Structures are given as structure tokens and as C-alpha cells.
Amino acid sequence: MLPTQDEEKRTVPLRVDSSIPPVPPLRRSPDLGAIFCCGRARRPREEIDGNLVRMARYTVLNFLPLNLFQQFSRIANLYFALIAILQLIPGLAPTSWVTTVIPLGFVLSVNIAKELYDDYYRHREDLEVNSREVEVLRAAGEVERVVWKDLRVGDVVRIGRDQEVPADLVLLASEDEEGICYAETANLDGETNLKLRRCCHHGEDLAAAGGLESLADRRFIECDLPNERLYEFQGALLREGSGERVPLDESALLLRGSTLRKTAWAIGVVVYAGSDTKIQRNSIKAPRKVTRLERTMNLLVVVIFVALMLLSLFSAVMEQVYGTSFLSGTYYLEFTFQWPDLGPGFGGFLVAFLRFIILYNQLIPISLYVSLEVVKVVQCFFLNNDLGMYHAPTGTRFHCRTTTLNEELGQVKYVLSDKTGTLTENVMSFVWCSIGGEMFGRAEEEDPAGARKLSASGPGSAEKHRVAGDAELRRRLEAEPRKGRSENRRCTEFVEALAICNGVYPHWDGPEGRGSLIYQAESADEEALVEAAAELGARLLRRTTGSCVVEVQGRKLEVTIGAVFGFTSDRKRMSVVGRLPNGTCRVWCKGADNVVLGLLGPSQHCLDTTQSHLEEMSCAGFRTLCVGQRDVSKAEYNRIVAAYEEASSRTTGREAAIAEAAEAAEAGLTLLGATAVEDKLQEGVGTTVEAMLSAGLRVWVLTGDKLETAISIAVSCSLFTSDMPLVVLRGDELPENSLGVADLLGQRLQQVLQLGGSAEKGTGRGRGAGLVVDGAAMLKVLTPEAEDAFLALCRECHSVVCCRVSPRQKAKVTELVKAKERAITLAVGDGANDVGMIQAAHIGCGISGREGRAAVLSSDFSFAQFRFLRRLLLVHGHWSFRRNEQVVFYAFYKNIAYVLGNFYFSFLTAFSAQPLYDSLMIGTYNLFWTSLPTVIFAFTEQVLSAATLEAVPELYADVSGMRRPRLLRNFALWAASGLWHSLAIFWVPTLALGADSDVELLGAAVYTAAIITVNFKISLITRYWTVLMQVAVWPISVGLWFPILALASFMYTTPFRLFPDLVGVPRALFMSSEFWLGSVLLAPTIAVLPDLMTLAAKRAFFPSAVDLFQEAEDAAASREGRVGGDAVLPAGRGSDLEASGGRQMSVSAASRPSPSGELPTASMVLARCGTAG
């Protein structure tokens, strides 16, 4: 009998006997939070699908209705569906239903084919995963092989070496006598370093006969309800009717998707299956982001729809006027007062109004949305395969995780970046340490000022850990501690603490003692510290659940571990409580300096010196930790261990109880020293930051490091200059009152304005001060009363660095900028602590680094190095925005130029709603004669070459400043061009052929002029001509129209009896000189002549920066004998263009004003640490 269910827990019986009856699950009942899941017998319909995982979106039955529902939820598709319905009403439509149904069907079919293709592969993957087999253990040693989808919560499974884990398991046993195993979690978080997992100590030997039955006897697991927290788990293995309780935490959990490594076998019980597993809980699809261009496009659709209604209204009124005034005496044109010719009055007006809506319906381009989707997919293909963003050392390619944000890359104004692993390599090197008030690792002749400039990736010092090469430190460690001086003993205790107080697990790649010792650590900092300790003579040889073996200068010490208080983001420290072989009981602790220093006891003889060293380390840009210890009596040791075990056994409130026990153990520490770990800047970070600043981007760095470390990094990566005045906001210096904080921020703003009065607004150049804010200050400035003043200050500063900030604060800062500044934000990070910031930004970028894949999985774009952000924004952002903007505007333009011919024709037909064009022409205009050049233009056009856009980052402002008013102005110009072209397209052929020409002949002539003109227009805006584009425009889109028209005229003689109105039309047209002169030559020429004149005048008298650089590229291409936009701008050409009167360009960062006023400079802040040269 299972116990009463807890509302916050899941109860899992160990199901080792198939006779256990199935228990129907409770689906998140508000009354019962616990869920029973066991049994493999035939399940009732309401039971969940066990371990079945379905990534496919559709089934065979719901694919078509669900896909069509999603497509018709788009207003444009619904609009054309309503038009098609109107066309089916007998006598109402002036055009055939085919003219709308065929284009709409094509648009819908493209999306259906795309979704079908994608979902087919999802179904294949689902089948492959769900059909894998795993061993399930039953009573009496029976082993049953079942497929993954048939696993149930409570099943006991055995995993072999290198096998993937099929569900979330609590580990019960493993090959290792200590009950440990190694799991690789690359599929979950991208980390290739192995994670150690421990079996729960249940006291049963599963390898013995009857061991499994004994374990399952009246035992069950109580654990958290399913959740998405990958690194958190609380539970207990309980025995009904007894007080037995074995605590469980995340170290006992093997997650679905992880792989068993370096272990022959492991046994575990399923606690979460199928959609309840943590990896599935983290697979929630992110909401679709809508770009600024798409929002503008939706607005334009509304504008065009309103124009369509007004045109239809005017035409309907004119139809009534003509019918009652001008045609009253013409008996064969008078109203019949029968459907649909209802005569004067509301009925007749309504019918006319609907007929004109159908006639003009193509003013809204039917292919707009699907064309944009297709071109974005193709653009993403080229992005993914750009060798300029491929990281060869790791084989990491650029990856678009969404296809909706391409053009948004050209609109970015704010870049918010993490530091560790994003700007830096996250490859740690232990370089300095302070022990007992003495500094080690830094050579006496080393230039302290130079140390501040972090080196980029590349050759470094001879040793990986520079501190290990310090001769004096080695001498002291090698001296006999008992015969040596006290400082020798302090050095030994320091490295002992580094070797013991960590979560690192060593393993040998060969027989123990003869192979190489390899350390597996989840933290790069810990790995560096333990490796350096080993190089200094304190080697961690073995670690088990209750002990560790450390070899110190050849002496092996087996330390009994009583308690381990792990590192958390709240505690910012870890502690180990253990007993040495000589009986000494000790607490070792290491963590953030501001935390550990607060735990020290009185009378610390080296505290002041160590704090000075810590400031020096921070100013050098190093990551710092403090190390402490204290000896405790045996009785206190027992109390600490008992408190730890009691807290660990809780299933509710466990973390708070463990933290409380840790505080008691860590009070009164003795300071041993401090560590300095270097994290080198990634290659190209400095030049990338300089380029982004020159491009007018506002760059903010959000980091958890100390203030001095953050400033040093900012100077190293060119975010700050050493002579730049800084506004430093510390939490302890700000008033507690929010209004007081706002007043203080206003005062700082006035100081900055006095410094940067000549700042070039909106470009990020020439600004006179940097802003540095710590986490405590963030709590005070991110309030409703102070946030506006804070943003005003940020707006006037050159760059912003936020230090000591939590993941939540990173997200809040991003949300604030996004909401208040109304500018496009881009967040970039590499760790799980950056996920909130990445998801909050308009564009989220994940770095594929050493801190897992959490950031990548939550991002829109992922890549290997920060430097690739330069090419992504300056090149692909520029290209994508220009391309997609032109695609959208061209789609509206070409339909305006073509559809308005029907409006003009109405003046010649008494507004009778007589269509000018044949059904063949209406149905194929957007599909065949104007679409192909648009698509090819959208992925081949280059307004400037990649080399020029990267070399001159200021050109990015040409697209990043494109707000909605400017977009609407550009659309107005395109619409005006379409209006003029429509006039030329219609009236020139009409005048050439004569107003008395039959409608089929005139319609074909006007249609031919429209095809030639709109393709001429796209040729004018194309700069980068490729073979594909040349073939698409003239031989296909224009050239094929003539034979297709000729072929259509013969279709009526076939059994299909198609296109009867076109019989004889091609022959009459092609033999008419008026057609060739008017439609083919004069109409397109008259239409595009103003475009040519405007373009020439603009380039000659009002050239933009883009125009000037295009001329430079053309000149360079001519000299090199090339044609097109792939020329590289010659050196020095930028200065020539500046002198010629164009917009001023500068590749290098602008010079900063000299420090003035009372604000300290960056070098002054660093000088307070004693390191400024």
C-alpha cells in the first residue's frame, strides 16, 4: 500500500514485479500533486504515454486541418480566401475564381510542402528514438528487453557502457564498488567533461541473489514533481512502515539524453519519463519574434487595404453615376434590374462595390509573406555556411536557430554581453596567489601596468599555471613543514586546501599510479586550481563519497569527508568538512573574496596585505578567490556532520537547511590566502568592440566579476580607454531612498554632459565618460523612480559595465533597455546564467563555449567566438536588411504598377468592372513573371562588398537608423514610383494601339509593358549581378512571356478548350509595330526614365556614404578587370572620400576627450590598486 500522496511530491514505487497493478496517473490534479505511474499492462485510454516522446508537430489525421488553420490565421491568406469565395458567387465576380485560387493554392502548397518535409524527418527521428531497446530488471533475476517508449515510471533499468540513458533515473547501483559512475551530458548542455554520479546508499547488494527484490520490498522514492530545472533534484528513498530514509539529490540523477562513460554498467529506477523528463521540459518552443520590418509590412498591408476600399468605393459610386446619368438613353447599357445588375440604390451599389474589390484585390501582393519566408530560409542557409564565421579549431559552424530575424540584425542599437566565456576564452590559468600576506607567481621585473592588458588567445607563458613556476613558493613547499618556519607551513596548508576543497574527481587513463592523472571538473576555475596544486606537489589522487586521498610532497593523506557544502550562486562559496589521518578535524572553505572575508574570525594578521593583493589582482583583470580554514573539535565536527546529514535527508526545505548548517560550520575562519586566475581574451575581441562602437552601437558588459576586474577587462577589450573618465556607482555609496538615487544620477548626468558636450549624438563616438555599476547599485537604480534617470545617464555615456550582477539583474537590465529605449537589443552569452538576458533581448546570441549549451539552446543565433559578431552585424545584418526591405517594397510596387491598369480601364468602360487582363495573366503575374528575380535578389544582392562593410563599420548606421518613419517614407517613394509606372504602362500602349482596340489585345499589350517595366525596375536596384540574376530577369521573366502567350492562344484548340479569349491575340500583337514601339520600348522607357534621372542626380549632387564607397569599389574593380560588387576597397580610399565631401568615415575608434571635472579616469581607478604605470 503506497503512502498518502504529498501535494508537492511524486511517489514512485520500485516496480520489479509485473504483477504490480497499473495505477492510472493523476493529471496535475489541484487536489493531488503526486502522480502514480507504474505498471505495463494494457492501459486505460486516459493513461499517459509513458516514455513516448513525440517531437513531430502533426499526425497523419491532423496535418492538413491543423496546417490550414495555422495558415488561414494569417490575415493575408484569409483575405484571399474570402476573395475566392466571392468569386464563386455566380454573376458577381468580374474575374474567374481561378485567378485567386491558383495563386493562393500555390502559396498554401509551398508552406504545406515545407511543413511536410520538416515533419517527416521529425517523425523519422521519433521512431528511431522511441524504438531503441533497454534492459528492464524484474524479480528473480529476470531481464526483459523493452523499447524506450514502453518504459514506465518505477521500472528498474540497466544501462551499459556508452549507452544513452532512456529516461530520468535515480541511480541505484553501478560497477564501481563506491557506487559511482560517469555521465557525459553533451546532448543536454554541450559539456564534454564527464559528470560524476553517485548511487543512493540503500544498503542492498543488487548483485546478490534476491538483492533487487529486497530493495523493492515496501520501498518507494519520493521526489519533486516534474520540472525543467536540469541541475536541481530533491527526493528520498523511503521504506514504508519504518523510519528508513535515504536522501537523494542531483548527484544521484542520470538524465535522459546523457551517456554512460567509463563505467561497465549502472542500474537506476525511472522517476521521470517521456514528456516529464527534464530535457523534454526544456524543449518548450520559444515564442515567435516579429521584426520591425515585419511590423511595418503588416501596417502597409492595412494601408493598402484601406486604399483598396477607397478605390472600390469610388468606382462603385462612379458606376452608379454612369448608370443613372450618362447611360440612361442607351437602351443596351441600361440597368436590367436582375441579378447581378440591380440598378440604382443600395443593392446595386453593394454589388458594384464587391465586384470592384474583387477586380482590385491584387493590390495586396498574395505572394508577399511566402516569398519573405522562402528568402529568409535561403539567407539562413548562406549564413550557416559562411566560412567567415566558422571556427576551425573546434569545428563549430554558425547556426541560425530561427529564420525570422535576419533583417533585425541590421537594426541593432544595443549589444549586451556577458564577459566570462563570451569576451574571454574561459580557459583558466592560475597565475598569482597570495599566501600569508606574500605574493607569489609575479616576477619582480614584471610590468604591473602591462599586466592589466589581458593577452588574447595565442602563445603565453611557458607553464599553463604560472604560479607553479615560482621558485620561492616551490622551495617553501618542499621544505619540511615541521622543521621549517611558519610561512612554510602556511604555504603547505594553502595548497592542501586547494587539493581538498573542490568538487573535482580524478581518474587515471591507465592502471592507477602508472597512467596519467586526469581531473574532471564542472568548473574551469576549480580545474585550474587543482591542476596548479598538483604541479606544486599536492596531488588529488582519489575521491569517493566519503573520503579523498591527497599526495603532498610524496606523503599520502587520506581525508575522511564528513560534509560537503557545495557552491551555489547565492552562497558564492564551497566548504568541505573532514578529518585528517592524525585526527585533526578541519573545515576548508574557498569562495568569492567579499563572502569569505566576511566569515573570518578576529585577529587575522595578514588581512590588510591580502586585501591589497586582491585589489592588485582584480586591477590586473584576474578572477579572484579567497581560501580559509579552521580546526574544530571532534564534538563540533560530529555536530556539523549530524546537522548536514539531517538537512540533506529533507525532501522539503533542503537547500535552506543545508545553508543554515554551512553558516554554522564556516564561522570564524582563518585566512590562508587568495588566488588569481587569468581568463584570456578571445581572439579579435578588441577590434570587434572597436568596430561596434564605430558603427554606432552601444556596448554594455554585464558580468559577475569584481568592479576592478570588470574595469580592467573593459580597458583590455577597448570598451574603455585608460584616460577615459568613469562614473562609478557603488551600492554602498547610493542613498537608500529611490528619489535620492534619482537626484544623484541627475548630478552625475550633468558632470557627463559637461565632459561630452560635443558628443556626436546617436553614434556612440566622442562620448566622454564610461559608466560602471555594481550589483548592489543595480538594486537601487532599477526602481520605477530611478530607472529613467539611470537610462538618461547611460544614454550619455560612451559604454556601460555592470559588475557583480546576478542572472536576474542581467535580464532586468535587458528588459529595461528594450522597453524604454525602443531600440533593437542584442544579448550575447555562453552560460546558463545568461539565458534570461538572451531570451529578454530582441535578438539572442549564444556562444558555443565551455559552459554548456544552455545559452545556445535559448538563442536565436549561435557561434563559437565573440569576434564573429562583427561579420554577423556589419555584413549580414546590412545585407539582410537591405535585401528584405527591397523585397517587401518591391512586392507592393509591382502590384500597384500592374493592378491600377484596371482602374484606368474603368474610365473607358463606364466603370462596369470589366477586367483588363485575361485570367491567365492575372493568375501568373505574381507566380511566374515577377517572383523569381525577387527571390534571387534576396540572397545574392550586395549593396557593398563584405570587405568594405567590415573595414568601414560606420556604414552600419545606414541601416541601423532605419526607424518606422524612414521606412514609411521609403515605401511612399516606392508607391509613387508604382503609381507613375502604372500610368505609363497603361496609357502609352492604349494611345499607341488606339482606344478602340479590343479588350484582349489591349490587355495583353498593357500586361507585356508591365512585365518589362517591373523587371527593369528590379534591374535598376540590383548592384551585384550574378549569372542567376541575369538569367532570372531577362531570359526567364521577360523572354518566356512571349512564347507562353503564343502557346496559350493555341490551347483552345486542344480538348481542354482553355483561354478562348486569347485566340489570335499573339498573332495580332506580334505583327503590330505599335505594340513593339509602345508596349516593349516606349512604355518601359517612359516609366523608368524618372528613376534613372533621380538616381544620376543623387549620385552626382547628393551622394550618400554608400554611393561613395560603391564608386570606390567600382573603380577598384575596373582596375582589377572585374565586374560587380565583390571588389575590395583600396587602402586609403576612405580618407579620400572624406576629403571629397561625403559623410565622414573612420575605421578606427574616434579619439576621446581628455579627462576633466571631478570624475576619475579608468587609469586612476586602477592606480588605486597600485598597478597603474
User: Which residues, at least 6 apart from 181, have a Cβ–Cβ distance to it below 8 Å?
Assistant: 171, 174, 175, 196, 197, 199, 254, 260, 262, 263, 266
Instruction: Give residue-wise pLDDT tens across range 438-459.
Output: 999 876 544 444 444 444 443 3
Q: 496 with 645, same domain?
A: yes
> What integer pLDDT is reported at residue 733 of this predicted model?
86
% of the chain exceeding 70 in pLDDT:
82
Q: Regarding predicted confidence, which is higher, 352 or 4?
A: 352
Q: For residue 208, what pLDDT is reported?
A: 58
pLDDT tier at 342, thresholds 50, 70, 90: low
Give the residue-averaged pLDDT of 533-550.
88
**Domain check: are 642 and 743 in the same one?**
no
| Helix, strand, or coil (residue 260) | strand
pLDDT confidence tier of residue 46, bands split at 50, 70 and 90:
very low
CA quadruple 485, 491, 494, 496: dihedral positive or negative? negative
Mean pLDDT score, 733-742: 90
Q: How confident is the model at residue 220 (pLDDT cuts 50, 70, 90)?
A: confident
Q: For 800-817, what is each residue's pLDDT tens digit?
A: 999 888 888 899 999 999
In-domain check, residue 622: yes
pLDDT in the model for residue 512: 63
The average pLDDT across 312-332 equals 78
pLDDT at 1166 over 50: yes
The domain that holds 419 is classified in CATH as 3.40.50.1000
Query: Are 1116 and 1128 contacting, i.e. CB atoms less than 8 angstroms apart?
Result: yes
For β-strands 547-552 and 538-543, DSSP reports them as antiparallel
Model confidence pLDDT, tens digit, residues 1066-1101: 999 999 999 999 999 999 999 999 999 999 999 999
Mean pLDDT of 984-991: 96
Ranges 155-169, 831-845, 1000-1014, 1136-1150, most confident: 1000-1014
Three-state DSSP class for residue 1121:
coil
Q: Pick the last residue of a domain from 224, 252, 281.
A: 281
Q: Last residue of a domain, which of 866, 891, 910?
A: 866
Question: Is it the case that residue 579 has pLDDT exceeding 80?
Answer: yes
**707 residue type, one letter:** L
For 457, residues 6+ apart whose C-beta sits below 8 A from its C-beta are 425, 680, 681, 682, 683
Over residues 459-502, the pLDDT tens digits come to 333 356 777 778 888 888 887 555 556 778 889 999 999 999 99
Q: How far is CA 973 from the centre of its chain?
A: 35
Dihedral, CA of residue 36, residue 42, residue 45 and residue 48, to nearest 10: 40
Say whether both 746 and 656 belong to one domain: no
| 718 has a pLDDT exceeding 50 | yes
What are the cell numbers at 409? 540584425
Cell numbers describing residue 795 = 544614454
Residue 1133 pLDDT: 40
pLDDT for res 546: 84
With a cut of 70, say whether residue 987 has pLDDT above it.
Answer: yes
With cut-offs at 50, 70 and 90, classify the pLDDT of residue 92. Answer: confident
- Tell me the C-alpha to C-alpha distance, in Å, between residue 1127 and each of 389, 881, 939, 1123: 20, 21, 18, 8
Cβ pair 22, 11 in contact under 8 A: no
Domain count, the chain: 3
Which residues are within 8 A (CB) of 910 and not within 5 positions of it... i.e. 6 or more apart?
A: 319, 322, 323, 326, 327, 333
* CATH number, residue 641: 3.40.1110.10
- Tell me which H or E stretch contains 727: strand 726-729
Query: Which three cell numbers mark 842?
Result: 530582441
Show the beta-strand stretches assigned E in 523-669: 538-543, 547-552, 555-565, 573-579, 585-591, 623-632
707/945: higher pLDDT = 945
Question: What angle separates helix 807-820 from helix 787-796, to the nearest 10 degrees?
Answer: 80
Q: Which of 181-190, 201-210, 416-425 has the lowest mean pLDDT?
A: 201-210
User: What mean pLDDT, rounded, does the chain reach?
Assistant: 82
Q: What is the mean pLDDT of residues 364-385?
A: 89
Q: Are residues 659 and 690 in the same domain?
A: no
Section 933-962 average pLDDT: 92
How would you label 251-278 residue by residue, b for 16+ Cβ within 10 Å and e otherwise?
bbbbbbbbbbebbeebbbbbbbbbbbbb
Q: How far apart are the two ends of the chain, measured CA to CA in Å?
A: 76
How far apart CA 810 and CA 837 sit, in angstroms, is 6
Beta carbons of 691 and 650 less than 8 angstroms apart:
no
Per-residue pLDDT for 938 more than 50? yes
Q: What is the pLDDT of residue 124?
A: 87
Residue 39 clears pLDDT 50, i.e. is over it: no
Least confident of 8-17, 134-143, 516-525, 765-774: 8-17
The model's confidence at residue 662, banded by pLDDT at 50, 70 and 90, is very high
- Residue of 224, 418, 918, 958 marked active site: 418
Where is the domain boundary, 252, 281, 310? 281
Cβ(943)–Cβ(878) below 8 Å: yes
- Residue positions forming the annotated binding site: 418-420, 526, 567, 590, 623, 703-705, 804, 810, 830, 833-834
The confidence score (pLDDT) of residue 1145 equals: 35
- Average pLDDT in the 956-961 region? 86
In this structure, the answer to whether residues 492 and 617 fall within a common structural domain is yes
Point out the annotated binding site for ATP: 418-420, 526, 567, 590, 623, 703-705, 804, 810, 833-834
- Output the nine-digit C-alpha cell for 808: 536576474
User: 631 and 755: one domain?
Assistant: no
Distance from chain centroid for Cα 606: 46
Question: Which of 272, 201, 244, 269 has its CA nearest to residue 14?
Answer: 269
Please indicate, yes or no, whether residues 657 and 725 belong to a single structural domain of this protein: no
Domain assignment present for residue 838? The answer is yes
The domain of 694 spans 410-423+681-866
Q: Which run of H or of E encompasses 862?
A: strand 861-863
Angle value at C-alpha 1011, between 1009 and 1013, nearest 5 degrees:
65
User: Is residue 159 located within the same domain as residue 184?
Assistant: yes
Angstrom distance (rounded) from CA 700 to CA 697: 10
Residue 120 in grid coordinates: 517527416
* pLDDT at residue 992 in the model: 94
What average pLDDT does range 958-980 have in this prediction? 91
Residue with cell 509593358: 1009
Model confidence at 838: pLDDT above 60: yes
Q: Is residue 795 part of a domain?
A: yes
| Separation CA 1042–CA 992 (nearest Å) | 19
Q: Which amino acid is at 989?
A: P
3-state secondary structure at position 520: strand
Angle, CA of 305, 310 and 312, to the nearest 5°: 95
At residue 186 the predicted structure's pLDDT band, cuts being 50, 70 and 90, is low
Q: Please tell me the pTM assigned to this model.
A: 0.77
Q: What is the tens place of the pLDDT at every residue in 1118-1135? A: 877 654 444 444 434 443
Rounded (10°) CA dihedral 904, 905, 910, 913: -110
> Residue type for 863, please?
F
Longest CA–CA separation in the chain, Å = 129
Annotation says 418 is catalytic: yes
pLDDT score at 5: 45
Average pLDDT over residues 768-778: 89
For residues 837 and 807, is the Cβ–Cβ distance under 8 A? yes
pLDDT at 3: 45
> In this structure, are 553 and 593 located in the same domain?
yes
Q: How confident is the model at residue 204 (pLDDT cuts 50, 70, 90)?
A: low
Q: Give the residue ranges of DSSP H helices in 865-918.
A: 868-871, 878-908
Answer whether residue 1065 is part of any domain. Answer: no
Q: CA 436 to CA 422: how far, in whole Å?
A: 34
How does residue 45 score in pLDDT terms, banded at 50, 70 and 90? very low
| Model pLDDT, residue 462 | 39
The verdict on residue 495 lying in a domain is yes
Q: Is residue 1 a part of any domain in this protein? A: no
| CATH number of the domain that residue 166 is part of | 2.70.150.10
User: Domain for residue 82, yes or no?
Assistant: no
- Give 433's strand partners: 440, 675
Whether pLDDT at 355 is above 80: yes
- For 110, the enclosing helix (H) or strand (E) is helix 98-130
Annotated binding residues for Mg(2+): 418, 420, 830, 834
Residue 743 lies in a domain: yes
Pair 630, 685 in one domain: no
Q: How confident is the model at residue 764, as a pLDDT?
A: 42
Residues 502 and 418 in one domain: no
Based on the fold, state whether residues 711 and 662 are members of the same structural domain.
Answer: no
